[in-house]
Amino acid sequence: MMMGYGDPWGYGMMGSGGWFWMLLVGLVILAGLVVLVIWAVRTLSGTGKVSTPPTSPAGAAHDESVAIAKRRLAAGEITPEQYQEIIKTLGG
Higher pLDDT, 40 or 18: 40
Q: Enter the DSSP assignment of 77.
A: S
Instruction: Return d(Cα 31, Cα 22) in angstroms, integer.
Output: 14
pLDDT at 15 over 90: no
User: Side chain identity at 56, as an amino acid letter?
Assistant: S
Model pTM greater than 0.95?
Answer: no
pLDDT at 53 over 90: no
Confidence grade of residue 92 (pLDDT, cut at 50, 70, 90):
low
Q: Which residue has the higher pLDDT, 50 or 45?
A: 45
CA distances from 32 to 6, 21, 44, 84 (A): 30, 16, 18, 57
Tell me if residue 7 falls in helix, strand or coil: coil
Q: Are 87 and 69 in contact (CB under 8 A)?
A: yes
The mean pLDDT of 59-83, rounded to a whole number, is: 89
Please report, for the chain, the start and end positions of each structural domain, with discontinuous segments joined by +: 1-50, 57-90
Type of residue numbered 7 = D
pLDDT band at residue 10, thresholds of 50, 70 and 90?
low
